[in-house]
């Protein structure tokens, strides 16, 4: 089991998925979701995302060993 991250590590992890220059809002969502978070981007978790490795690494970190 991994130790819980320190608060500043958690903030850094959140920051890396916000306000990237490649962000394109997914217009299928309500405009209220347009907060520049990757999870609301048209490219989120698709092959068109230039940073897909970052998301896959993040998911792998959550996998049990």
Q: What's the per-residue H, E or C state across 2-62?
A: CCCCCHHHHHHHHHCCECCCCCCECCCCCHHHCCCEHHHECCCCCCCCCCHHHHHHHHHHH
Q: Pick the residue with more confidence: 31 or 56?
A: 31
pTM of the model: 0.66
Q: What is the pLDDT of residues 6-42, one digit of tens each?
A: 555 556 667 889 999 999 999 999 999 999 999 999 9
Label residue 2 by pLDDT band (50, 70, 90).
very low
């Amino acid at each position: 089991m991994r130790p819980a991250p320190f608060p500043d590590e958690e903030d850094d992890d959140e920051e890396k998925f916000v306000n990237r220059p490649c962000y394109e809002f997914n217009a299928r969502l309500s405009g209220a979701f347009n907060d520049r978070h990757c999870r609301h981007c048209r490219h989120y978790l698709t092959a068109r995302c230039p940073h897909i490795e970052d998301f896959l690494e993040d998911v792998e970190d959550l996998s049990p060993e």
